[in-house]
Amino acid sequence: MNIKYRLSFRVLLTALFMVGAVGPVMAKVYIDIEAPGFQQFPIAVCDFQIKGTQSIRSSDSGITIADNIRNYLGLSGIFNLLDKKSFLDGLEPGVPETIRFSDWSVIGADFLLRGDMTVKGKDATVESRLYDITRGQTLFSKQYAGTTDDLQALARNITADILLALTGDEGDFNTKIAFVIKKNTGSDIYTMNYDASDIKNLTNHHSIVLAPRWSPDGQYFAFTSYKNGRPEVFLRHLKTGKEKRVSSFRGLNLCGSFSPDSKKLLLTLSKDNNEEIYVLDIDTLALNRLTNSFSIDVSPAWSPCGKKIAFVSNRSGSPQIFIMDADGNNVKRITYEGNYNTSPSWSPRGGRIAYEGLINHKYQIFSIDEEGNNLIQLTFDNANNEYPSWSPSGRQIVFHSSLGSKSRINIMNANGMNARVLKEYRDQLVMPAWSPRLKE
Amino acid sequence: MKKHLTRIGLLMVFAFSLTLFSGCAEKQAVVKDEAVQEQKAVAAQAASTTTVDDEAARKAKEAAEREAAEREAAKREAALKAEADRVRAEKNAAALADLNIQNIYFDYDKSSIRPDAREILKANAELFSKKSATIVVEGHCDERGTAEYNMALGERRAQAAKEYLVNLGLNASRIETISYGEERPLDPGHDEKAWAQNRRVQFLLK
């Protein structure tokens, strides 16, 4: 209750700040971490204590799980993690826990996470407690069951609860990022965890592969591949690994995006002699054409509510972002700045669309609302920043960044702050696509 | 005189196929080297993420080995495919060199046929009309911009070239289009000279 009070006070402050800065659109009813005035939460995370008689290795587990939580909190981009060397309030083994709140506030912590762990064989039971230091209160105390084999999964669940308690949303911890590694010998799609661990190849086509797309229910993955010598769209069931060719018309078959219910897939086809946007029913493979223009229409992205589709068209002379109803009606151009705006990606929270645009001879990431107002430039560096894709929480954006021979997948907060390198590689790392929350 | 020219042409085709051969041998060596490096990278990745437990480390190692084996199999398959592609490309190159078929080039972000391309298309159409093979029109773009948009732009360029050929009297059913977007540059450079070379339509007979 109190935390909400406090947060809403912050929101009020943020909202007041925002009205003057960018306009009222950005003001939200919960804490708006996208606002430029947002301060990171200072948090102290203690190593977890091991209960009962334990081997040396399990005491390492208490450190490992805390390290994992610190890592995930850092990745969320909204926490300032305090150095554990600065902690004054040590725990004496065997003494019941009391929190000396003043010892934590003096080192600047607003929040404190403590936990303990019981290990029996491979089973690990963890109890973790989150405290609000300024108010001197416990925000949650919760038990988790897992295994010592996968402390990362336990850490992800705890971190998700911390985010849920502080921001009303569990964050992006159980997500993956798909991307294309482009080599001279051919491209393939890979996936990695949100912390860049567990890199796996999803395709083995060694061909031109592009436009990787997750279905919102996490069941399917769609992409375009030239493995048969020409562009065709493939649909892969992620659990079984079964791959099916779903679009192989003459000319271009380019993968677009899934509908929010994961039952339909948008495509760009040139079978009618011109690049147009179509919607494909995944079960029946029934096809319906949505656009009618003599120009290029490409890169369709479905809005999270399902009512609208953003896409790229050069019907006004240069590539720009347009929006239409899901049935193809009411086409409206929303970008007017610059003469090259492509790669639209719709925020899962709705309202805003991220895209790449050419400015001062560099590609940079922008976001704009669906009415075409409140344009914000998010990246400003010397690199070419392309292919934005939102996280499921709508708080972060993953994108490709290339500077000279360096090719990277980067993540930033949705307001452009706290950009960081997720993965760097000697080959081209392109077209990152953020997964929905994946149930384990 | 004409005979003399044909002889030069044949010599050029021969020289070209030689370069193709040597080019390919080099490529395969690179592929192998990359495979080794990749396995190392996978192993390093596995090592860095699984210090938690021996069991996990063993599993990761197995997975990495399995992955490496799968990758090797795919590489072999790709090598076979590349060989088939090479043979086909060689035949095409020989046929095209023989016919003197030329590429046409485009302005940045445009798919309209330039005046200089019209003359080339007329000459190409005349040569194509003497053959019965299917004409493949390949659209390409420079590296700038978005891969997806460039795929569409490449297709647009191929379509524009096809329309022009059809208007010159070639049968539309003989002509196929394919876009390679920015994925197959002729010149690997990153300047205007390279880009101008890469914004093109290429023709193949099959």
The domain that contains A341 carries what CATH number? 2.120.10.30
**Predicted confidence (pLDDT) per residue in A231-257, tens digit:** 999 999 999 999 999 999 999 999 999
Distances (CA, A) of B155 to A187, A315, A382, B177, B182: 20, 16, 31, 7, 11
Q: Tokens 């589709």, residue?
A: A309
The C-alpha atoms of residue B92 and residue B128 are separated, in whole angstroms, by 13
CB contact under 8 A, B152 and A296: yes
pLDDT at B114: 97
Query: Which of A137, A167, A197 delimits the end of a domain?
Result: A167
Same domain, A149 and A272: no
Q: Which residues, numbered 168 to 197 in chain B, qualify as contacts with chain A under a Cβ-Cβ cut-off of 8 Å?
A: 176-181, 183
**Residue A315 belongs to a domain:** yes
3-state secondary structure of B68: helix
**Predicted confidence (pLDDT) per residue in B83-129, tens digit:** 777 777 777 666 666 678 999 999 999 999 999 999 999 999 999 99
Do B37 and B43 meet the contact criterion of CB atoms below 8 Å apart?
A: no
What token pair was written down for B5?
């020219």
Q: How confident is the model at residue B30 (pLDDT cuts 50, 70, 90)?
A: very low
Say if residue A28's pLDDT is above 70. no
Check CB contact of A197 with chain B, cutoff 8 Å: yes
Same domain, A303 and A209: yes
Do A238 and A221 meet the contact criterion of CB atoms below 8 Å apart?
A: yes
Percentage of chain A surpassing pLDDT 90? 68
**Predicted confidence (pLDDT) per residue in A401-412, tens digit:** 999 888 999 999
Residue of A nearest to B179 (CA): A252
CB contact under 8 A, B178 and A273: no
**Residue A400 belongs to a domain:** yes
Check CB contact of A198 with chain B, cutoff 8 Å: yes
**Residue A259 belongs to a domain:** yes
- Out of B53, B70, B153, the one facing A296 most closely (by C-beta) is B153
Give the CATH number of domain B102-205.
3.30.1330.60
Domain that holds residue A47: 40-167
Cβ–Cβ contacts within 10 Å for residue A44, how many?
24
Same domain, A161 and A212: no
Same domain, A193 and A161: no
Phi, psi (deg, nearest 5) at residue A299: 55, 50
The contacts of residue B178 (CB under 8 Å, 6+ apart) are A230, A231, A251, B136, B137, B138, B139, B155, B158
- Out of B42, B49, B179, the one facing A252 most closely (by C-beta) is B179
Same domain, A81 and A151: yes
Same domain, A161 and A195: no
Do B175 and B134 meet the contact criterion of CB atoms below 8 Å apart?
A: yes
Chain A hits for B181, CB-CB cut-off 8 Å, are 208, 210
pLDDT at B57: 72
**Residue A17 belongs to a domain:** no
Same domain, A69 and A198: no
Check CB contact of A356 with chain B, cutoff 8 Å: yes
Q: How confident is the model at residue A32 (pLDDT cuts 50, 70, 90)?
A: low
Chain A hits for B56, CB-CB cut-off 8 Å, are 149
- Chain A to chain B Cβ contacts (< 8 Å): 109
Same domain, A241 and A369: yes
The C-alpha atoms of residue A165 and residue A269 are separated, in whole angstroms, by 45
